[in-house]
Amino acid sequence: MPSCLEGQSMLEELLKKREVIRNRGTASNGSGEIEYATVDDLLPTIASSLCQLPGLLHRLERTMRRFEKPEPSSPASETDPSYTVRQVADLFQVSPTKVYQMTEKGELRSYKVGNLVRIKVSHIREYQDRHTKVMETGTKKKKPRSYDKSEADRVFGGGWAD
């Protein structure tokens, strides 16, 4: 594609071959008659339009790319489906708010699709593995201690533990 200056010089050569160019439409003076314009009259407008053409073509290409069909999803996404926050909340038997809190704290990995939070099955498994390990390696449960009769009487009133 010729540069802006090359395009302008090519246009000048073309227009020099014709003395006048017929201007379609009404006259700018309001008379309603068709006017004729010389090359010198039209050259600045045409040159300006030629200089804007690459930018307009670039914008058109960007717009066309937005409407192209997206590429098919990768096989990894097919084998690792995603769930909504509500689905994960139902799975964990917690509220959706709790799931949002877990994702914000980084306890449960997630990603966004627009404004929507999605959680992959692999992220859920990672969370469950970490959570299960904590439960297995956590502190030992304390044995329930036997109650003290005097403490029970003090807390619940006399005659409770007889």
**Number of other residues whose CB lies within 10 A of the CB of residue 128:** 13
pLDDT in tens, 146-162: 656 666 666 666 665 55
Chain position carrying tokens 């395009």? 7
Q: What is the DSSP letter of 114?
A: T
The whole-angstrom separation of Cα 125 and Cα 90 is: 15
pLDDT in tens, 66-125: 777 665 554 445 678 899 999 999 988 999 999 999 999 999 999 999 999 999 999 999
DSSP 27-57: -TTSS-PPPEEEHHHHHHHHHHHHHHHHHHH
In this prediction, residue 33 has a pLDDT band, given cuts at 50, 70 and 90, of low
In this prediction, residue 128 has a pLDDT band, given cuts at 50, 70 and 90, of confident
pTM assigned to the model: 0.37
Name the percent of the chain lying above pLDDT 70: 52
Query: Pick the residue with more confidence: 78 or 128?
Result: 128
What average pLDDT score do residues 45-74 get? Answer: 76
**Number of other residues whose CB lies within 10 A of the CB of residue 108:** 24
